[in-house]
Structure 1
Amino acid sequence: MSRIAEVVVPARLGRSFRWLLASSWTSNLGDGIALAAGPLLVASLTRDAFLVALAATVQWLPPLLFSLLAGALTDRLDRRLIVVTVDTARAAVLAVLTLAVATDRVSIVVVLAALFVLATAEVFADNSSQTLVAVLVAREDLAVANSRLQTGFITVNQLLGPPLGAVLFTVGAAWALGAQAVVIALGAVLVSRVVLPAREPVAGPRRALRHDIAEGLRWAVAHPAVRTLVLTIAIFNVTFGAAWSVLVLYATERLGLGEIGFGLVTTVGAAGGITGGLVYGWITRRVSLGDLMRIGLVIETLTHLALALTRSPWVALPVFFVFGAHAFVWGTTSVAVRQRAVPLELQGRVGSVNQVGVFGGLVVGSGIGGVLAQHGGVTAPFWFAFAGSAVFVVLIWRSLRHIAHTDEQPVPAAA
């Protein structure tokens, strides 16, 4: 058993990283359950395409609103304590929602409000937990540490969690929500075992939060690779958000998949992600990061076209598989560029700038997707996503030359 543990999580990464990894995998199982149970709960209360898309919006809006604040607090406060406190609060909200569902006192308004609160809490937990890796692990081991975290994310969040959430939902919505509450609470207990190195005290009077936030923004704008990543993900998440905001309706109505079948969509995408992880090292040794990004964006554009055209699950599921591989490659590259480029004291704030780009695009896209689906049918958002992505690929093609291994370019100092 110890030999297996050494292969999965080498001892050189440290005991605290092992606790962090266990917490991450556990919490991701809860989030994976929610990937299926959340949309299914909303769809069980309303079939209005606008309200279904609104459910996606209220989950994507908090990162847009609060990421910059979360980043500034992460760089100021005890990052471990932030994760423990917020995950405990998430478990409590889920327990209340479980009770409301079990007693048949739930409504679409209550669910939307709960989703907003849960997503807000997750902003602070995710921002802080991402920076813990750079604190606990040596720079030369960041690739190994992040691959272990990403593998856990793909396996439990996207491969195991969604079908489990769908199965639990068929038994009863309260079972799915209650299971999520339990595993999130367990994740909080596990991360509480992490021991962080002492931080240097801040010299002089502490500045206002707005100055810290502005410093992170200036750094992100000044760094070519990070700036290009943020711009690219923001643009493409507009189109992605439009299509994926009505994915539960697309899968159940257009493809004819049931509740468990909807969970299968995410599972197939996760299988693609695992495949992408297995070949990631081989790919990056042969393809430049700029070209890798270009290929990925072409794949994403063609994904929307294929899904807009087909009604067959046998066509759609392989498309989701390829998209999952692309998502892993893109996400791993993006995280690696940021962690290697950004100074430790700015990790939270620059990461929060990236989150604003991610979720700003998703919020705008989900609003567009809801309106298009309501008036043009469930495939309308996918046609929009294809056309918009095709245009954006052309516009951003040259800018992707800024993506390079950050060891090969100077890193601007923080202002």
Structure 2
Amino acid sequence: MPGSGVRVQGRCPVSRVTAPSTPAASGLLRDPGFRRLFAATALGQLGDRVLFLALPLVAIVALRADEFQVGLLTAMTTAGSLLVGLPAGAWVDRMRKRPVVIGTDLARALALSTIPVAWWAGVLTVWWLYAVALVHGVLTVFFDVAYVSWLPRLVGRERLVEGNSRLSAIRSVTSIGGPALAGPLIGAVGAPATLVVSAAGMAVSGLLATGIRTREPRPVPREHPRLGREIREGVRFVLDHPALRATVLGDAVFNLSLVMYQTMLMVHLAREVGLASFGVGLVLSGMGCGALLGALSAGRVAARVGQGRVIWLAPLVTCPLTALMPMARPGWSVYVAALGLAALSLGGVVRVVAQSSLQQALTPDHLLGRMSATARFVSWGGIPLGGLLGGATGSAVGPAATLWIGATGMTLSALPACLWSLRGGKGALGRQ
């Protein structure tokens, strides 16, 4: 997600990103480079949404995995943030971002395609799933760090809110269409074969990105580059900045709790509520509807409520509604509970658009990769633990109780940003 080349030291004036784009500045889709990125994001996210539904169902339905094995699979999917999260930022800051985005998309597609091949050959095991999930997760770390660092260069810092809002909107559309496509497809051909669609989406996404010709200068190499020193610079920048520190700590609590919740959500829907793959896909599509509404309204909400305030107010208002799901039973109540998940997605996208734009605008160009990697390492580092905790807690007290715990943790994630704002902090969060 790239920019005007403005070098920002320390605390950058937040006024540059608080206002939503005006009608005169709303023509990013007329830019050929952004239009290709938009299309590539759509296809890549479609593949990702199909993967989100199909991969755990390969374990749950095709391989009869138990709750802990499903949790371990989730942990393997996200362990890359812990394994390479910090070095990835330093490495990406040394490189042009476009080749990293393209290469990791194509490599992820290749890794995913091995699952249906192994299934058809009769050699697929849960350990194979773990290995693919780990490789895919490591590649995703590099993809995300490069993607976030690329956008300011591509659209300019003054249009980050618009760019992030439009990309969030297309992600939300695919969050609706992906599960709606995957559910019936899984029912027709099985979860392993459905992963062909996921791999194809990521492959075409990478190919589309090859057509983006926006000039990207090669980063100026250091005379004596040292990985450890570069990593420390990124970590120090994030943790020393009050606004960045508050947002990434809140993200850490939210993501750990969300993954605990998600790990048992599929088990709860499939085994306790009794939904087939089509019903599960319908529930997840409802989450996509909420995310789309959030993306379409994010700029207006941030302008009305205040960008700093909305970062903590959105989860505080919407996360408690996820407690409806553990109370759901077969029948109409599960679709009422699905409204709570839609609200979670709405609030999540509003928060992420405001927060991502803020983080990118506060960070100098030469630190964008390391800022993104550090934020991801801190905020995503607990995700593998969340998968393990979700699986272990589900085995010990059941899926429904685990959903209650996850809902509580997601609600409490608003506290770091909220407390900083209430203290009248002198960073971006305190400026409304």
Same fold at TM > 0.5 = yes
Work out whether residues 54 and 195 of structure 2, in 8 Å CA contact, stay in contact via their aligned partners in 1.
Answer: yes
Q: Measure the CA separation in 2 of the matches of 1:349 and 1:379.
A: 38
| CA deviation map 1:82-126 (0-9, x unaligned) | 112222211222222221122222111111111111111111112
Q: Which amino acid aligns with 1:376?
A: V
What's 2:382 paired with?
A: 361
1:242–1:368 Cα contact (<8 Å) kept: yes
Which residue among 58, 70, 76 is the counterpart of 2:88? 70
1:176 to 190, 194, 199: 194
Is 1:268 matched with 2:263? no
**Mean CA deviation greater in 278-287 or 132-141:** 278-287
Shift of 1:408: 6.0
Partner of 2:227: 209
Partner of 2:261: 243
Distance 1:403 1:105 in 2: 58
In 1: Cα distance, 2:106 partner to 2:32 partner: 23
Report the Cα offset of residue 342 of structure 1.
Answer: 0.8
- List aligned pairs for 1:12-411, cutoff 5 A: 14-44=31-61, 45-156=63-174, 158-172=175-189, 173-199=191-217, 202=220, 205-311=223-329, 312-389=333-410, 397-401=418-422, 402=425, 405=428
8 Å contact kept, 2:420–2:429: no
- Are the equivalent residues in 2 in contact too, given 1:301–1:385 (CA < 8 A)? no
Which letter does structure 1 place at the counterpart of 2:390? G
CA contact (8 A) 1:52 1:370 kept: yes
Code of the aligned partner of 2:104: V
Give the superposition deviation at 1:291.
3.3
- Do the aligned partners of 2:311 and 2:355 also contact (CA within 8 Å) in 1? no
Structure 2 Cα separation of the partners of residues 275 and 384 of structure 1: 27
Distance 1:369 1:232 in 2: 19
2: CA distance, partners of 1:197 / 1:393 = 39
Kindly tell me: are residues 202 and 7 of structure 1, through their superposed partners in 2, closer, same or farther at Cα, counting changes over 3 Å?
closer
Given that 1:80 and 1:128 are in contact with CA atoms closer than 8 Å, whether structure 2 keeps it comes out as: yes
Q: Which moved more, 1:380-389 or 1:325-334?
A: 380-389
Note if contact 1:290-1:403 (Cα within 8 Å) is conserved in structure 2.
Answer: no
Name 1:412's counterpart in structure 2: none
**Aligned counterparts of 1:143 and 1:250: Cα–Cα separation in 2:** 36
> Given the two structures, how large is their TM-score scaled by the length of structure 1?
0.90
List per-residue Cα deviations over 1:369-398 (Å, max 9, x = no partner).
Answer: 111110111112122224445666567641
Counterpart residue type for residue 356 of structure 1: F
Q: How far apart, CA to CA, are the structure 2 residues paired with 1:214 and 1:93?
A: 32
Unaligned runs of at least 5 residues, structure 1: 1-5, 410-415
Q: How many residues align?
A: 403
Look up the equivalent residue of 1:107 and give its one-letter code: T
TM-score normalized by the length of structure 2? 0.86
Measure the CA separation in 1 of the matches of 2:270 and 2:215. Answer: 49
Tell me the amino acid that sits aligned with residue 159 of structure 2: D
Checking the alignment, whether the CA contact within 8 Å between 1:93 and 1:114 is kept in structure 2 is: yes
Q: Report the secondary structure of 1:166's partner residue.
A: helix
The one-letter amino acid paired with 1:330 is R
Q: SS in structure 2 opposite 1:245?
A: helix
The 1:366–1:194 alpha-carbon spacing in structure 2 relative to 1, beyond 3 Å, is same
Q: 1:122 to 1:391 in 2, by over 3 A?
A: closer
Question: C-alpha displacement at 1:81, in angstroms?
Answer: 0.9
The answer for unaligned runs of 5 or more in structure 2 is 1-22
Question: Contact (CA 8 Å) 2:169, 2:292: kept in 1 or not?
Answer: yes
Give the 3-state SS of the residue equivalent to 1:105 in structure 2: coil
Query: SS in structure 2 opposite 1:256?
Result: coil
Aligned in 2, Cα 1:189/1:252: closer, same or farther, shift over 3 Å? same
CA distance in 1 between counterparts of 2:311 and 2:160 reads: 21
Q: Distance in 1 between matches of 2:160 and 2:413?
A: 32
- 1:285 CA displacement: 2.4
Partners in 2 of 1:328 and 1:201 — Cα distance?
Answer: 31
- Cα offset for 1:71? 1.2
- Could you tell me how far apart the structure 1 residues matched to 2:71 and 2:195 are? 20
Structure 1 CA distance for aligned equivalents of residues 44 and 416 of structure 2: 38
Q: Distance in 2 between matches of 1:328 and 1:395?
A: 18
* Worse overlay, 191-200 or 330-339: 191-200
What CA RMSD, in Å, does the superposition of the two structures yield over aligned residues? 2.6
Q: Is the 8 A contact 1:228 1:403 kept in 2?
A: no
SS where residue 193 of structure 1 aligns?
coil
> Structure 1 residues 73, 230: closer, same or farther in 2, change over 3 A?
same
Q: Is the 8 A contact 1:373 1:380 kept in 2?
A: yes
Q: 1:10, 1:232 → 2: CA distance?
A: 33
Among the aligned pairs, what percent are the same residue? 26
